[in-house]
Structure 1
Amino acid sequence: MSADLSEAGGRELWARVRARIKAAVGEDVFTSWFARLELEEIVGDLVHLSAPTRFLCSWVQSNYSDRILEAFRQDAAEIGRLQITLRINGQARVKLAPAPEAQPSREAEAAPAQPVAAAPRLIRDTSAQKGDALSGSAIDPRMTFETFVAGGPNEIALGVARQVASAVTSGTVTFNPVYLHSTVGLGKSHLLNAIAHAAISADATRNVVYLTADHFMYHFITAVQRQSAIAFKEWLRRVDLLLIDDMQFLQGKSATEFGHTLGTLLTGAKQVVVAADSPPRDLEMLDERVRSRLSGGLVVPITTFDFELRRAIVQRRADQATSRFSVHFPAPVIDYISRAVVSHGRDLDGAVNRLVAANQLTGELITVPLAEKTLGDLIRARETRRVRIEDILRIVSRHYKVPRNELLSSRRSRDVVRPRQIAMYLAKALTSRSLPEIGRRFGGRDHTTVLHSVRKVEQMMRDDGELCQEIELLKRMLEE
């Protein structure tokens, strides 16, 4: 707390602020957005709150900061700024210092003031000037190369990640940019965090920043609002290693700004690593030049985990649970989880955690019948995975190299009509949408057009065995 506000006084002030906000927004809104906020400190005119998730940090800062400040000012008129940071394991990731009134000196406080949007955490910024460094996103201390479970589907990505971390410490660039892509839960974020950990551990003077796309976007938008966009750009251009996660969420002017920043970083031989859920060519919100630049680097896919890798992950998590909770995972249980839970790594972690919880709460031994009873929804979720029409359009567009907008257009050329009819057939076969609904999603067509397409594809499949195999391949791609 600040010198003129004790810790007890800060708690009392925060309690009054919470009561005012609750009365103003109502019980439901308060529970959704404010109940999990905690007061960390008040320094000068700056209030520092923390939240348990990155999304909550960004959402509250973007949508409710004025309301929170207004509630504080009713008791403390001098308060003028709000910072919300990520809270991990009950602790905020950064403590703040008041912003200087003038140009900061070399002897400024170790925790720099934020010139633009507040965000969870600076991983590493060794710029000569204090007070002009932005915050990056929080990194997970558990996500290191040592805790990454390697196997066939991810071994190339792991090797590239290790090489990038090593090259950064030696001041060289081998592949730039590096682009990792996969569906959710296959280890992209783990590798980005591991690169950051390894680079900083090997050379603490390197300026390494890890940013999720939503925080990059939030930083840029707030910088524009506060007329400090130039400082934001200059800060990014001093970064030695920039890691951007969840690139698919980047959109609007932030995507354009990333393109300019990417060009500058590459020209200056700086290292960029990007992770997303699809290849660069499918990131339609990015400018074509940016997609081309990303595609021109090293693009590394991480494929769906095979049984051997799933089993290695489950075994690692089971060993950790055994050492921590003194539980026993028999080999048949590990095999059962590895075969039954085939979605992604997070579900494998969740399966082990559920069995540990069941054992600790009931005392029941960890067996295959317990796993069948406890993990039923994880298995059913895979069996009944909901396919969306948007997924079908994306996969068909990519497979047949037909732009998505062409599939929805009125063009009648053969190279467009056949993929369009196959996409409508898949929408009828794999979704619960009615024919009129499918027609509306395919450029406002009526249900008779959809029905004609479905019957046409069924007829072609009876006459063409290769087409049957092709459509089965598309189905598998959609169900992965």
Structure 2
Amino acid sequence: MMRGAGSESGSVAAEIGSSRGSGNDQLFDDVGRNSGTQDTVSGRDLFARVRARLRAAVGEDVFNSWFVRLELEEMVDGLAHLSVPTRFLCSWIQSNYAEKILSCFQAETDAVERLHFTVRVNGQARPRLQPPAEPAAEPAAPPPQPRPVIDGASLAIPAAPRGDALSGSALDPKMTFETFVTGAPNEMALGVAKQIAHAAANNTVSFNPVYIHSTVGLGKSHLLNAIAWAAGAADEKRHIVYLTADHFMYHFITAVQRQSALAFKEWLRRVDLLLIDDMQFLQGKSATEFGHTLGTLLTGAKQVVVAGDAPPRDLEMLDERVRSRLSGGLVVPIAPFDVELRRDIVTRRCEQAMGRFAGLHFPPAVIDYIAQVVVSHGRDLDGAVNRLVAANQLTREPITVPLAERTLADLVRAREIRRVRIEDILRIVSRHYKVPRNDLLSSRRSRDVVRPRQIAMYLAKALTSRSLPEIGRRFGGRDHTTVLHSVRKVEQMIKDDGDLAQEIELLKRMLEE
């Protein structure tokens, strides 16, 4: 049978610092080895001082982003056991701040030599991993093959490529080609995905690499899951790996800390089909490792499919060579859903709901209403149907347009009251033209800065209710006549240059989504 990775509730664990033997575990076996409650109190006092040092070292914003939920569980024989609530947070802190945290501990006490991180499950951290017992004397044997740790479960590196299909992040059995609703905005992406799955099932490579991108909730993850299921159904032993970016980061960081990085890389590079989701979240050394893996797989003619929320050129956390490789493959956008596709999706969800609940009925007028007013993305369409089902089941009120208006009011209102901010314009224009935000606000007059600045001012006038003097102040204290000149200049360029007109329309859509 095909299978995914281990459960998300598994614990991440790694130690940072110098090696030292372990004795008997005692909660908060702290400096001075006091007893009972005093140990607990002294451990907490010490950690409070460590947190204060860390806050001062990294700044208030960084501390509040990453360390507010960091807790001390125990201190045992020179090891401080720390816990956080999520895998991603654990991996990020281990990768970027472990040495700084250790230095803060050592500034307060000489008794802490190592750090150990775990993820709290249901509010509680797993106890620290026990050291292995001393083995009885045995004749010397060859060392075992290395085994990388993937989501808490050992995954054997086979002597030859075989077995272990679909190792990686868990796949959703509901996300198949049969359940994917298609329309004009996504039909090209669906066609490419089916061709990739067919080629992989026949041990061939189609377009390579393939990069699918869209804003949130338009079906990228659904397509990657569907490819994995369809390609793996023909042969359970085929090596198909689906990983979200945060899991890729976690796997790589954990392998490095467990000194099994080479085994992890070998396992990953033996795959026949690699699917990476949420590419925009990949960063740091994991992004570099992905670049190496991508190059190796492409050289070996292995299929790679990647999904992200922006085109490859906008993935600033990736090396230029990786962005170039992704851009050099097949880049497939998924456009925002039109009303026809939204209606088809709502119809499918309503049919599924009516199959589960006897007597449930969605009139065509209600389906049309949802498709017209819920315009953000597919998940909101699913949520709209679920809300109406819940309202009907709880109140026994028939599903009507008035009920939909009351039940879905916040989804509609969220779209109506959304306003484009000048800060959003600066961010999008800066990223699109690769011009630092500070340069857009500066007095620099070089062409590569002036034109994006003028376009940003034009968008501010077109998409916000700000006056010309207000826009001028937000763009580095410029006079309102400068803003007016920029607006008129861009309006003329739009008339004369069709490509620029399309480019500005793209920027507008990015800002209004």
Same fold (TM over 0.5): yes
Give the match's secondary structure for 1:215.
helix
Alignment of 1:264 with 2:296, yes or no, is yes
- Which residue pairs with 1:3 in the alignment? none
Q: Secondary structure at the match of 2:86?
A: helix
| Structure of greater Rg | 2
Measured in 2, the distance between the counterparts of 1:126 and 1:196 equals: 21
Cα distance in 2 for partners of 1:389, 1:225 equals 43
Pairing 1:209–2:241 present: yes
Residue 339 (structure 2) pairs with residue 307 (structure 1): yes
One of 421, 441, 454 as aligned partner of 2:454: 421
Aligned residue among 347, 355, 361 for 2:394: 361
Change (3 A) 1:352 1:460: same
Assess, with a 3 A threshold, how the Cα gap between structure 1 residues 456 and 167 changes in structure 2: closer, same or farther: same
| Offset, 1:285 | 1.3
Distance 1:266 1:152 in 2: 31
Asked if the contact 1:179/1:299 (under 8 Å) is kept, the reply is yes
Counterpart selection for 2:320 from 273, 288, 309: 288
Distance 1:68 1:286 in 2: 28
Moved more, 454-463 or 184-193: 454-463
Partner of residue 12, structure 1: none
Alpha-carbon shift at residue 477 of structure 1 (Å): 3.8
Residue 272 of structure 2 contacts residue 303 of structure 2 at CA under 8 Å; is this kept in 1? yes
CA separation of 1:133 and 1:472: change in aligned 2, threshold 3 A: closer
- Number of aligned residue pairs: 409
Cα 1:69–1:395 change in 2 (3 A) is closer
- 2:130 is aligned to 79
CA pair 314-121 structure 1, distance change in 2 beyond 3 A: farther
Conserved 8 A contact 1:120-1:135 = no
| CA distance in structure 2 between the partners assigned to 1:125 and 1:146 by the alignment | 34
Maintained 8 Å contact 1:133/1:235? no
Please state how far the C-alpha of 1:135 moved relative to its aligned partner. 5.4
Instruction: Give yes or no for the alignment of 1:236 onto 2:268.
Output: yes
Which residue, 465, 472, 475 being the options, matches 2:508?
475
Unaligned runs of 5+ in 2: 1-26, 29-38, 49-67, 71-82, 95-114, 133-140
Secondary structure of 2:87's counterpart equals: helix
Post-superposition shift, 1:392?
Answer: 2.6
CA deviation profile, 1:148-185 (whole Å, cap 9, x unmatched):
00111111111111111111111111211011011111
Residue from 343, 363, 379 that aligns with 1:346:
379
**Structure 1 unmatched ranges of 5 or more:** 1-15, 27-31, 35-48, 82-100, 106-112
**2:241 touches 2:271 (CA, 8 Å); kept in 1?**
yes
Cα gap change, 1:336 to 1:78, in 2 (>3 Å): closer
Give, in whole Å, the separation in 1 of the partners of 2:455 and 2:126. 64
Give the counterpart of 2:357 among 302, 325, 338. 325
Q: Is the Cα contact below 8 Å between 2:87 and 2:250 reproduced in 1?
A: no
Q: Which amino acid aligns with 1:466?
A: K
Cα deviation digits, residues 372-430 of structure 1 (max 9, x gap): 1111111122223354556534643577x564566466531345313213314434664
SS at match of 2:116: helix
Give the letter aligned to residue 116 of structure 2. Answer: D
State the partner residue of 2:86. 56
1:57 is displaced (CA, Å) by 3.4
Percent identical residues: 67
Distance 2:120 2:191 in 1: 51
1:253 aligns with 2:285: yes
TM-score (norm: length of structure 2): 0.68
Contact (CA 8 Å) 1:435, 1:447: kept in 2 or not?
no
Structure 1 pair 286/409, CA: closer, same or farther in 2 (3 Å)? farther
1:224 shift after superposition: 2.6
Give the SS at the match of 1:156.
helix
Distance 1:334 1:256, change over 3 A: same
Q: Quick one: which amino acid aligns to residue 202 of structure 1?
A: A
- Asked if 1:143 corresponds to 2:175, the answer is yes
1:25-174 correspondence to structure 2 within 5 Å: 56-60=86-90, 66=116, 79=130, 103=143, 115-116=148-149, 118=151, 128=160, 136-174=168-206
Deviation at 1:265, TM superposition (A): 0.1
Q: Distance in 2 between matches of 1:181 and 1:76?
A: 41
Pairwise mapping of residues 394-433 of structure 1 onto structure 2 (< 5 A)?
A: 395-396=428-429, 401=433, 403-404=435-436, 407=440, 410-427=443-460, 430=463
1:446 equivalenced with 2:473 (yes/no): no
Is 1:191 paired with 2:242? Answer: no
Amino acid at match of 1:328: H
- Whole-Å separation in 2 of the counterparts to 1:259 and 1:354: 43
Q: Distance in 1 between matches of 2:346 and 2:157?
A: 37
One-letter code of the match for 1:204?
Answer: E
Q: Confirm whether residue 456 of structure 1 aligns to residue 485 of structure 2.
A: yes
Contact 2:425 2:460 in 1 (8 A): yes
Partner in structure 2 of residue 97 of structure 1: none
Choose from 386, 406, 418 the match for 1:385.
418
Go from structure 1 to structure 2 and tell me whether the alpha carbon gap of 1:311 and 1:241 turns closer, same or farther (over 3 Å shift). Answer: same
Of structures 1 and 2, the one with the larger relative CO (CA 8 A, separation 6+) is 2
Q: Please list the CA deviations of residues 1-29 of structure 1 after superposition, one character each: whole Å capped at 9, or x if unmatched.
A: xxxxxxxxxxxxxxx99xx99x9799xxx
Structure 1 residues 428 and 225, CA, compared in 2 at 3 Å: closer, same or farther?
farther
CA distance in 2, matches of 1:479, 1:121: 46
Structure 1 length normalisation: TM-score? 0.72
Structure 2 contact 147–154 (Cα < 8 Å) conserved: no
Aligned equivalents of 1:356 and 1:78: distance in 2? 46
| CA deviation after TM superposition for structure 1 residue 129, in Å | 8.9
Cα distance between partner residues in 2 of 1:80 and 1:59: 25
Equivalence map 1:8-23=2 (5 Å): none
Asked if the contact 1:136/1:210 (under 8 Å) is kept, the reply is yes
Q: Could you tell me which amino acid in structure 2 is paired with residue 447 of structure 1? A: G
SS class of match (2:174): coil
Is 1:115–1:133's contact at 8 Å kept on the other side of the alignment? no
